Amino acid sequence: MKKNTKTIVNLVLLALLFLAVWVIERTSSASSMLITVLKKGAIYALIAVSMNLLNGFTGLFSLGQAGFMLVGAYTYAVLTIPVAKRVAVYQMYAGGAIHFQLPWLVGILLAGAVAALFAALIGYPVLRLKSDYLAIATLGFAEIIRAIIQYEKLGPITNGSLLLKTYPTFKSTLFPFAAAAICIGIIVLLINSTYGRAFKAIRDDEIAAEAMGINLFRHKQMAFIISSFFAGVGGALLAMYQGTLQANAFKAAMTYEILLIVVIGGMGSVTGSVLASFLFIACSEWWLRFLDAEQFIGSFQVPLLRSGFRMVVFSVVIMIVVLFFRRGIMGDKEFDVEGISKWCRRKFGKGGAKA
Amino acid sequence: MFDKIFPYLLAGVSVGGQYALIAVGYTMVYGILRLINFAHGDIFTAAGFFMVYISATMPLYLAIPLVTVLTVALGFTVERVAYKPLRTAPRMSIMISAIGVSYLLQNLMWYITGGLAKQYPVLPWISDSITLGSASTKVVTIVTPILTIVLVTALVMLIQRTKIGMAMRAVSKDFETAELMGIKINSVISTTFIIGSFLAAVGSMLYFTNYTTVTPTIGAMPGLKAFVAAVFGGIGSIPGAVVGAFIIGIAENLIRAMGYTTFSDAFTFALLILILLVKPTGLFGEKTSEKV
């Protein structure tokens, strides 16, 4: 297929997706599980793709994603809470130290920018470290950021360890979809550019890449900053989705979950991460819910089913993927029209020849 | 002044010893497999839960050995099931598998306990209170550093003097050459995990005697801190891990003494980043160079 036709086909598919989401939203009630999955799935898709840019495309094993999401979420919430409601939110801190509010779009962009700024500062020292040291150092930074945000003395800005609320949120499912689509689109453009090719070269062999004249540090830093920018935006969207915000939720476990999504989708596949996000959220929030409830067949109580069993089954499935299907759903391939048509031709090749 | 700080110092030495017992498990596994065993902290927690459930049905003199055996079995199983199949895979895959195991163990423990905090049984003698100068504390505070040093000395002797210790050193130097020399890699790695889990079990008995409640995620933080201690001391070096653990334990409690409790965890990681930048090999680490 020519490049132009491919772009057009992809855009048409994207438009159809949005139409489908719009129809679903019109036809089902706002509290339905499907809507929840779609909203949260879209946000997680963005965050997973941003992490994949680092771990899957640049080969930097970073575990700081939750920290950057936290920075983004707090930047957004702190700057957009309406002035009139600040007294109620910052009860303990006499209305807080900030007496202005920004429109939501500026808030989201600033969320990304501040997260990127943090990444630039942090990246300077830690990106010199190798694989597992980098992992543990970024994980450590996420913990430090969480501790700083909950620090009492910063209470007038961050509200300490108390909830932030009443900042602007979204109602329509289309909003997270549009935001995620734009951001993922930018990441895809980046991956297909010369920079993206340099990232992949670094992932495949650092020394060879350096010998080919790629500035290792600059490219690593770039990937790190861009990934953090989108993690920050993702954090802001997550804050909007939740409606309330507390630093305590952004623990290392959150980073692990996103990492597992990336692995399930396939390291180095954008569409894989997107598919895996929806799958992950759908399983954990919806499809496996029945495992958490005690069930009876006649008078026979089905054994094992009780609160928490869902997550056990879920993590066993994840372990199976990690151990036996190491390439995940997509490997490093992308899910696109060309791939599907090729697959169809291979699968139904004989039928096609007859016709 | 000293009277005020002394209790914190004492607590620091005690928790430092407990971190040291966990850190040795990390550093040994890293020395051989080059793997951050993220599940180690959860094995430590599991040892806590084993004790809670087992001590409810049998006397302590039976429960303590049984808990140790079960913890060792858990560590052994984790290695066999989750790490062994990935021996030839890229290092990132094993690390992801370790994170997966940690996730699984935490969810499993949540399921079994129903997410509730469990009360740790009172171990006789080490739970008794004693008064030392200005501070009143539990016997465990005094016992921990002594026991830690005894166990670690025994371990160092094992590694320096015995055949299996020599095999461990060989494997950590060079995987393939060791294999060619007829060393059974898998049994050496299993032994490493067995020793690590055994020390984690002992560490968990001491730790939970101090903190008394067990929750499914309680091991994550001490686990990470012990890892930082291992890096601080020079990963792969056992005395290094012990020294690092004591420094971190004491420093963290002194920060509490100064009233910055929120930052006691953050400090550990700041220390980690500092040491990685200034001296990435740690206090006692060996220098490694990468060949093309």
> B115 contacts in A (CB within 8 Å)?
307-308
Give residue B33's identity as a one-letter amino acid code. Answer: L
CA distance B64 to chain A (A): 28
> A132 contacts in B (CB within 8 Å)?
34-36, 91, 95
> B81 contacts in A (CB within 8 Å)?
323
B82 and chain A: CB distance < 8 Å anywhere?
yes
pLDDT at A340 over 50: yes
Write out the two tokens for B37: 């065993």
Residue A266 contacts residue A330 (beta carbons within 8 Å): yes
CA distance B91 to chain A (A): 9
Among A225-229, A238-242, A310-314, B46-50, the range scoring the smallest mean pLDDT is A310-314
pLDDT at A75 over 90: yes
Classify residue B240: in a domain, yes or no.
Answer: no
| A285-297 pLDDT per residue, tens | 888 777 777 777 7
Candidates B114, B231, B265; nearest CB to A308: B114
Write out the two tokens for B212: 């008394």
| Count of structural domains within chain B | 1
Q: What is the DSSP letter of A54?
A: I
Pick from A245, A41, A28: which is nearest to A149 by CA? A245
B:107-146 residues touching chain A, CB 8 A cutoff: 107-108, 110-111, 114-115
Classify residue B148: in a domain, yes or no.
Answer: yes
Write out the two tokens for A279: 């799958």
- At B219 the pLDDT is 86
Q: How many CB atoms lie within 10 A of CB A347?
A: 10
- At A354 the pLDDT is 42
3-state SS, residue B183: coil
Mutate to test the interface with B, among A136, A251, A258 (most CBs of B within 10 A): A136
Contact A253 B217 (CB under 8 A): yes
Contact A312 B276 (CB under 8 A): no
A70 and chain B: CB distance < 8 Å anywhere?
no
Name the closest residue on chain B to residue A56, using Cα atoms: B92
| A355 Cβ neighbours under 8 A, 6+ residues apart | none
- Average pLDDT by stretches of 10, chain B with 292 residues: 81 90 89 87 94 91 94 95 88 88 92 86 82 78 90 92 91 88 92 94 91 87 88 85 92 86 82 82 68 50
Pick from B111, B107, B118, B98: which is nearest to B40 by CA? B98
B80 and chain A: CB distance < 8 Å anywhere?
no
- At A1 the pLDDT is 59
> A306 contacts in B (CB within 8 Å)?
111, 114
pLDDT at A351 over 70: no
Helix segments in A192-251, DSSP class H:
194-204, 206-211, 216-242
pLDDT band of residue A232 (cuts 50, 70, 90) is: very high
Give φ, ψ of A325 to 5 degrees: -120, 65
B206 and chain A: CB distance < 8 Å anywhere?
no
B76 and chain A: CB distance < 8 Å anywhere?
no
- At A353 the pLDDT is 45
The three-point CA angle A146-A149-A153 to 5° equals 140
CA distance A219 to chain B (A): 20
Contact B228 A140 (CB under 8 A): yes
Burial class (CB in 10 A: 0-12, 13-18, 19+), B292: exposed
- At B289 the pLDDT is 54
Among A37-41, A298-302, B262-266, the range scoring the smallest mean pLDDT is A298-302
Query: What is the widest separation between alpha-carbon atoms in chain A?
Result: 79
Candidates A133, A147, A257; nearest CB to B276: A133
Q: Quote the pTM value.
A: 0.87
Mutate to test the interface with A, among B40, B80, B86, B103 (most CBs of A within 10 A): B103
Write out the two tokens for A62: 């970073």
B:12-41 residues touching chain A, CB 8 A cutoff: 34-36
pLDDT band of residue A134 (cuts 50, 70, 90) is: confident
Contact B92 A61 (CB under 8 A): yes
Pick from A118, A138, A143, A142: which is nearest to A60 by CA? A138
**CB-side neighbour CA atoms (13 Å) of A227:** 31
3-state SS, residue A173: coil
B:143-182 residues touching chain A, CB 8 A cutoff: none
Residue A21 contacts residue A273 (beta carbons within 8 Å): no
Contact A141 B269 (CB under 8 A): yes
Candidates A139, A308, A318; nearest CB to B103: A318
- At A30 the pLDDT is 66
Contact B96 A318 (CB under 8 A): no
- At A25 the pLDDT is 80
B56 and chain A: CB distance < 8 Å anywhere?
no
> B292 contacts in A (CB within 8 Å)?
207
Classify residue B15: in a domain, yes or no.
Answer: no
| A160-199 pLDDT per residue, tens | 778 888 888 888 888 899 999 999 999 999 999 999 999 9
Pick from B255, B263, B232, B280: which is nearest to B12 by CA? B255
Among A96-105, A298-307, B70-79, B222-231, the range scoring the smallest mean pLDDT is A298-307
Candidates B102, B111, B269; nearest CB to A311: B111
Candidates B36, B93, B262; nearest CB to A132: B36
Pick from B134, B117, B115, B137: which is nearest to B126 by CA? B137
Candidates B85, B108, B269; nearest CB to A312: B108
| B179 Cβ neighbours under 8 A, 6+ residues apart | B185
- At B257 the pLDDT is 85
CA distance A165 to chain B (A): 23
Classify residue B238: in a domain, yes or no.
Answer: no
B89 and chain A: CB distance < 8 Å anywhere?
yes
Contact B111 A312 (CB under 8 A): yes
3-state helix, strand, coil in chain B (%, to 5): 75, 5, 25
- At A15 the pLDDT is 86
CA distance B133 to chain A (A): 33
CA distance A112 to chain B (A): 23
A8 and chain B: CB distance < 8 Å anywhere?
no
| B92 Cβ neighbours under 8 A, 6+ residues apart | A55, A61, A131, A267
Tell me the residue range of the domain where B166 lies: 24-220
- At B54 the pLDDT is 93
Q: What is the DSSP letter of A193?
A: S
Mutate to test the interface with B, among A52, A122, A143, A313 (most CBs of B within 10 A): A143
